[in-house]
Amino acid sequence: MDKLKVEDIRAYENFIERDPSRFCKAFISTVCVSDMVDNNVSETFNGYILNARGKHIIHMLEEIRSGLRERQFKKLEHVQSVSDVLTPAMRKTLEKLKSQARFCTAHPGLGGKFEVEKKNDRFVVSLPDKTYPALYVHKYLTTETYLKAYSFSLEPINGERQWLKATGYPVEPPQVRVMPGRPKNKRRRDRDENDPKNPSRLNRAGTVMTCQNCLQVGHNARGCKNETVEKDKAEKRKPGRPRKHPRSEDGVESSSKSRSNKLAKERGQASKGVGHYVREETRNSYICSGSTVHQVPRGEELPT
């Protein structure tokens, strides 16, 4: 401000006349009197005007003005029917805190002071300094302040056709140009923020793009102007589902389970006939007599 005063005294005086304590960050108090410490107010307002933001400037402002005027009237009408000192939202918060206070133990002292103990914590509470209802909560959370906040409503106005014609050079609206692609109505999420509808989906932000034409990073093949680089041809996989138990060189599966299945199948085929049965693939011998099948170990002579 001292530098501004030296540069231009009229700009300095004009700035002071506008009461900088109402909008300048240097005068904003750091003492919080509300339990809302984030910027949900701006996010709520942006969501409130989401449909209006896609319209032209005049129609957008008119829709926002009409919506805010109706909202102010409903809020004022609702709070006028409340006879409590606190607003309904603050009363609900207070009742919740009162329910949690049953886990505290109060030790009285002189002068209206208490030692309030909860588990391993202990606090000093002074009733003369915080009496109900005048100073028990901050005045910003009372119904009286709520009424003052919504006592100033936006005045209704006539439609666009009844407006006064502006004098001077007419300002024509810009030509409507349809932008490519579908218009976006959702807000842009941070790089480390996942999709709320699909939290398990991995975020692709920060991934490096590799061109399949020149094998360089930073672009894709659609806009690549470099020469094509020949890639090593990978060995093609045989079609079909791969075998769970690979075969050995002689064509016999190595798994013991597969071997037992083979023997059971051969034994079943041998039971269809009577006499000596030899499996050509495995050279296993079987003797079938009626419904009984005996396997002959290799190297032994057949029984007579």
Burial of 147 (0-12, 13-18, 19+ CB in 10 A): middle
Tell me what pLDDT residue 133 has. 42
The predicted structure's pLDDT at residue 296:
63
Q: For residue 201, what are the contacts with CB-CB under 8 A and spacing of at least 6?
A: 194, 195
What are the phi and psi torsion angles at 105 (to 5°)? -120, 125
> Average pLDDT over the chain, rounded to whole?
78
Between CA 142 and CA 132 the distance in angstroms is 12
- State residue 13's pLDDT score: 92
Calpha distance 160→58 (Å, rounded): 9
Residues (pLDDT < 50) of the chain are 131, 133-135, 251-253
Structure tokens at 211: 């061109």
Strands (E), 90-241: 105-108, 113-118, 121-126
**Which residues are registered as beta bridge partners of 142?**
86
> Is 125 in a helix, a strand, or coil?
strand
Cβ contact 257:242 at 8 Å = no
pTM: 0.39
Amino acid occupying residue 265: K
| pLDDT at site 3 | 92
